[in-house]
Chains A and B, each alone.
Chain A
């Protein structure tokens, strides 16, 4: 059944919890115990916002046996706003409409079903940012008091 194998990764798969390196402050996803940037130990949990943009993408028409029933689907590398790249499927979007640089956000979906008696495995996928979220994000990133530019 392999229940433990999936249970122990629930924070990273459901909530995108990675790590922040206490030494060089790099944000790390997936979590990996040793910081890939400064190569020192890093085990401080850090929850990512789930926002990012498409770095690259491709459609899978000839899937591995376990993914037959989901095909075709679109896979992508996502550049998270905090820095790391993450590999995931895109969802709620037609492959023809995907572009490099497209803003996306994380959602939780079924990744795989291991037969009638097996696990149903949930995890992160990414979808195009919905308009309201986009405005909210833009507000969150804008300085609180925008100085008025002096006349030239």
Chain B
């Protein structure tokens, strides 16, 4: 089942620029303006005026803005008319999928300077329209037609997880509390307030057993990194970050067709491919930016990626191991829960945050001496998964 691909005969690739727009409700900015903000910031960071290609990770521009064809729209708006540009879509995994495509372009030698972006504009339409659009990440014929929303799919998983492993709703609180704590010092995060166990316990139910504080907020946002061959990376950046691996895997989109709904096989395969390519394992990671769209996803990701045994993802959080000083620091800049979750942009925020941690630029949230970090971006409820491993040089 597991196909290991070592990057043989490929060029080593590094991140030479990072740019982020603060996640939030940008009433004053359109989709293309958000995209340009992050792209221009990343290009300034890399001291570049021109790139070879642009890969735009985005999930919902067609549904929410009536605009597809984002590659050309953003390239033109950014004054880069003529370059190769296209949209990459893998539901909420679109952002990191754009990095995967950019990596292939630079590693293969077909391009030297590539911008990989994630962008999403979600706050223009009314909430029920956004709910319908997000449900498209599920199986339209067999989940969507029965009125399932994205949150209810996660609620089905969480209830079964609690049933099989004997956890209570409150046991999931540390995921949300840790994320909010870490977001306080991230200038690009949507929420800058801490939450308490009491607030978590009393939060409004959204789809039982999921409450409002189990759930990440939708938002507008855009993040971007610039890739270049490692051999010339130092000409553009004082602190280039090597891409040790970026691996993608899939699982069935519908939860009912999975071999075991409580085991994210796509996440496990994606992580194993990345570990094999980089020659490292979960114990080597100084931090792990996981896909905490809902608290149950944090638990399932920790288990699938090998940081906790089956049924122990929540236990790891209860043991206090997920904080900045814990054994497995996660959501170090706020995660999806508190940094915010502009769906198609999220993967690129995760990658940007790992890169900043490895550069030593994470401010008050800096993991001391971080050398190796991992990000895992999940599309749907586990059907498209991209795992990225980055290293300080």
A-B contact count (CB 8 A): 105
Q: Which of B259-293 contact A (CB under 8 A)?
A: 259, 261
Out of B131, B141, B151, B209, name the residue touching A30 (CB < 8 Å).
B141
The docked-state distance in angstroms from the alpha carbon of A56 to that of B262 is 11
Over the window 48-81 of chain A, the binary record of Cβ atoms lying under 8 Å from chain B Cβ atoms (1 yes, 0 no) is: 0000000111111111111110100101110000
User: Is B135 part of the binding interface, using a Cβ–Cβ cutoff of 8 Å?
Assistant: yes
**Are B256 and A85 interface neighbours, CB within 8 A?**
yes
Most chain-B Cβ atoms within 10 A of its Cβ — which of A57, A64, A65, A100?
A64
Kindly state the separation between the CA atoms of A59 and B210 in the bound complex, as whole angstroms: 10
Q: Tell yes or no: A22 within 8 A of B by CB.
A: no
Contacts of A66 in B (CB 8 A): 132
Report chain A residues within 8 Å CB of B209: 58
Query: Complex formed: what's the CA distance from A66 to B129 in Å?
Result: 9
Contact B159 A87 (CB under 8 A): no
B145 touches A70 (CB 8 A): no
Q: Is the CB of B208 within 8 A of A58?
A: yes
CA distance in complex: A84, B254 (Å): 12
Contact, CB under 8 Å: B146 / A63: no
Please judge, given known A-B contacts A63-B128, A65-B128, whether A111 and B159 are in contact too, CB under 8 Å: no
Bound Cα distance from A106 to B208, whole angstroms: 24
A22 and B363 CA atoms in complex are apart in Å by 60
Contact in complex: A63, B147 (CB < 8 Å): yes
Chain B residues with CB below 8 A from A84, complex form: 256
Contact (Cβ within 8 A) B207 A59: yes
Given A65-B128, A87-B143, A111-B146, are A75 and B152 neighbors across the interface (CB < 8 Å)?
Answer: yes
Q: Does A86 contact B (CB under 8 A)?
A: yes
Chain B positions within 8 Å of A58 at CB level = 152, 155-156, 159, 207-210
With A36-B252, A86-B256 as known contacts, state yes or no: A64 contacts B208, CB within 8 Å.
no
B63 to A: closest C-beta gap in Å: 11
Q: Is A102 an interface residue (CB 8 A)?
A: no
- State in angstroms the CA–CA spacing of A9 and B142 once bound together: 11
Residue contact B152 to A60, C-beta cutoff 8 Å:
yes
B309 CB–A CB distance under 8 Å: no
Return the chain A residue nearest B258 by Cβ: A85
Give the distance in Å from the alpha carbon of A32 to the alpha carbon of B152 in the complex.
24
**Is A121 close to B, CB under 8 A?**
yes
Contacting pair B132 A65 (CB below 8 A): yes
Instruction: Report which residue of A87, A88, A89 has the largest number of chain B beta carbons within 10 angstroms of its beta carbon.
Output: A87
What string of 1s and 0s marks CB contacts (under 8 Å) between B142-184 and chain A? Answer: 1111111101100111011001000000000000000000000
Which A residue's beta carbon lies closest to that of B139? A87
Q: Are B163 and A56 in contact (CB under 8 A)?
A: yes
User: Within the complex, which residue of B144, B157, B205 is in contact with A56, where a contact is CB–CB below 8 Å?
Assistant: B157
Residues of B within 8 A of A (CB): 127-129, 131-132, 135, 141-149, 151-152, 155-157, 159-160, 163, 205-210, 252, 254-257, 259, 261
Besides the known contacts A36-B257, A100-B159, 5 further A-B residue pairs in the complex with CB atoms under 8 A apart: A56-B163, A62-B151, A67-B147, A85-B256, A95-B208
User: Which residues of A does B touch, CB under 8 Å?
Assistant: 9, 30, 32, 36, 55-68, 70, 73, 75-77, 84-89, 95, 100, 111-112, 121, 123
What are the 4 closest A-B residue pairs judged by CB atoms, nearest first? A58-B155, A64-B132, A85-B256, A56-B160
